């Protein structure tokens, strides 16, 4: 079916928001997820927003036979592959867990696409491939730096696999989306991020601090060579990010891609510092956070943000949501999860 999409990791943070946008655009979604870092409740949230409950298969993408049954049973033209582990520090401690899971699942997907003649794939890549870039903002041509974590390495390796497969196999077209820092939640507060344990990422740590789950937010470094001394990132609203996947799929279905493998940065194009983000969160939500300055976190780059010209021109996509709306949505979601009025 032309408008069928397989979404691996569709119960997760980015996957659930993308599923909502796909359904809104008239796609029929089949989700495969093993709930390794997600919850079945996100399917209820998707249904509350869209009125549609996507077809769901509980399976691990490393289990090729289980995945094969999904390809046998469902007729989709496109795949969006989100299913992967994403904790940078954990990947350094347990590299094989990351190589096995992130690469095997991706290779299974690509092999089954070849076997079952399903042509289109969007791969979830990351700005982590740029490392500590020499020039900012980074364009898709900015050279990748050697990965500093097994997690980052799996993103680079999967990009390379996709490049090679699309070059060798006429039947496969791929788009890698390099995400910058996805934040926020659906404006209806029906879906959002559900980190397990202590959050690694800034915004969930902020919202949990505001909710009183964490005592104090640590700002990792105020002595960087940046305008205010804290790191700068490109924080992209999760719904804007989700929409980029829909236009990527539409592009491939319409045959508008200019090559069989394309790469797009998905960010706002604007740097925001950690201090600015924290202040912005406090102002948008009219509250005060308990904050302290801590040592730099190993592996953090001082600054990275996207040049989004390529996505703007070729995909006709740009980030639209204002940062304070995103930060209000993040807090509304945390309150809902914690039952805070």
User: Given the structure tokens 């706002």, which residue do they identify?
Assistant: 268
Q: Considering only residues 231, 244, 315, 332, which one is a binding residue for ligand UD1 as defined by CB under 6 A?
A: 231
SS (H, E, C) 54-66: CEEEECCCCCHHH
Provide the edge-to-edge strand list for the sheet that holds 261-266.
55-58, 28-33, 4-8, 78-81, 120-126, 173-179, 261-266
- Between CA 85 and CA 102 the distance in angstroms is 7
Q: Given the complex with ligand UD1, which of 205 and 333 has the nearer CB atom?
A: 205
Write the binding mask 167 to 196 for ligand UD1: x where contact by CB under 6 A, - elsewhere. --------------x---------------
Rule CB under 6 A: say whether 152 interacts with ligand UD1.
yes
Rule CB under 6 A: say whether 274 interacts with ligand UD1.
Answer: yes
Q: Least CB distance from residue 217 to ligand UD1, whole Å?
A: 6
Q: Report which of 4, 16, 67 is spatially closest to residue 184, judged by C-alpha positions.
A: 16
Binding mask 290-309 for ligand UD1 (x = CB under 6 A): -------x-xxx--------
Residue 118 interacts with ligand UD1 (CB under 6 A): yes or no = no
| DSSP per position, 138-168 | BPTTSPPPPPSSHHHHHHHHHHHHHHHHHHH
Nearer to ligand UD1, 57 or 274 (CB): 274
Does the footprint of ligand UD1 cover residue 128 (CB under 6 A)? yes
State which of residues 71, 205, 331, 333 lies at the interface with ligand UD1 (CB under 6 A): 205
Could you tell me the smallest distance in angstroms from the CB atom of residue 204 to ligand UD1? 8
Work out which of 50, 55, 200, 312 binds ligand UD1, going by CB under 6 A. 200
CB of 255 to ligand UD1, least distance (A): 30
Among 94, 103, 255, CA closest to 173: 255
Q: Kindly state the smallest distance separating residue 142's Cβ from ligand UD1, in Å.
A: 15
CB of 260 to ligand UD1, least distance (A): 25
Pairwise CA distance, residues 85 & 95, whole Å: 11
Binding flag, residue 101, ligand UD1 (CB under 6 A): no
> Tokens representing 74?
């469902």
Nearer to ligand UD1, 120 or 149 (CB): 149
Q: Examine residue 39 and tell whether it contacts ligand UD1 (CB under 6 A).
A: no
Residue 130 annotated to the active site = no
Residue closer to ligand UD1, measured from CB, 257 or 265: 265
Q: Does 91 bind ligand UD1 (CB under 6 A)?
A: no
Give, in order, the Cα–Cα distances in Å from 173 to each of 1, 36, 66, 79, 252: 17, 28, 24, 11, 7
- Determine the size of the site formed for ligand UD1 (CB under 6 A): 22
By CB under 6 A, tell whether 120 contacts ligand UD1.
Answer: no
Alpha-carbon span 70 to 65, nearest angstrom:
9
Peptide bond into 323 cis (omega under 30): no
The whole-angstrom separation of Cα 43 and Cα 292 is 37
Among residues 13, 85, 130, 151, which one is catalytic?
A: 151
Q: Is 49 in the site for ligand UD1 (CB under 6 A)?
A: no
Three-class secondary structure of residue 243 per DSSP: helix
Alpha-carbon gap, residue 85 to 234, rounded angstroms: 21
| Closest-CA residue to 330 (of 289, 269, 295) | 289
Question: What minimum distance in Å lies between the beta carbon of 75 and ligand UD1?
Answer: 32
Whole-number Cα distances in Å, 184 to 118, 191, 277: 32, 10, 12
Both tokens of 282, joined, read: 């406090």
Question: x-or-dash pattern for ligand UD1, window 211-230, by CB under 6 A?
Answer: ------xxxx----------
Which positions touch ligand UD1 (CB under 6 A)? 86, 88, 126, 128, 149, 152, 181, 200-202, 205, 217-220, 231, 233, 274, 297, 299-301
Active site residues: 151
């Amino acid at each position: 079916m032309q408008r069928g999409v397989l979404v691996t990791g569709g119960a997760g943070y980015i996957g659930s928001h993308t599923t909502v946008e796909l359904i809104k655009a008239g796609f029929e979604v089949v989700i495969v997820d093993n709930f390794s870092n997600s919850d079945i409740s996100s399917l209820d949230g998707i249904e509350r927003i869209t009125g549609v409950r996507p077809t769901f298969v509980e399976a691990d993408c490393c289990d090729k036979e289980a995945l094969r049954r999904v390809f046998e049973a469902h007729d989709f033209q496109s795949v969006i592959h989100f299913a992967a582990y994403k904790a940078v520090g954990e990947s350094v401690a347990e590299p094989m867990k990351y190589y096995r899971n992130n690469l095997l699942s991706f290779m299974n997907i690509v092999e089954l696409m070849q076997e079952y003649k399903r042509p289109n794939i969007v791969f979830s890549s990351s700005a982590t491939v740029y490392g500590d870039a020499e020039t900012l903002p980074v364009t898709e041509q900015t050279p990748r730096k050697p990965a500093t974590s097994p997690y980052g390495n799996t993103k680079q390796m999967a990009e390379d696999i996709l490049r090679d497969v699309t070059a060798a196999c006429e039947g496969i077209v791929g788009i890698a989306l390099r995400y910058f820092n996805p934040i926020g939640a659906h404006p209806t507060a029906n879906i959002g991020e559900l980190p397990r344990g202590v959050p690694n990422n800034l915004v969930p740590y902020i919202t949990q601090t505001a909710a009183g789950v964490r005592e104090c937010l640590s700002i990792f470094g105020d002595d960087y060579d940046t305008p205010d001394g804290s790191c700068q990132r490109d924080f992209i609203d999760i719904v804007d990010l989700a929409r980029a996947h829909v236009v990527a799929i539409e592009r491939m279905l319409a045959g508008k891609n200019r090559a069989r493998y394309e790469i797009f940065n998905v960010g706002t194009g604007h740097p925001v510092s950690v201090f600015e983000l924290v202040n912005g969160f406090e102002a948008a939500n009219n509250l005060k956070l308990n904050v302290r300055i801590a040592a730099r976190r190993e592996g953090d780059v001082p600054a990275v943000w996207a040049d989004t010209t390529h996505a703007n021109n070729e995909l006709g996509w740009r980030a639209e949501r204002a940062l304070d709306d995103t930060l209000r949505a993040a807090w509304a979601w945390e309150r809902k999860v914690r039952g805070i009025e």
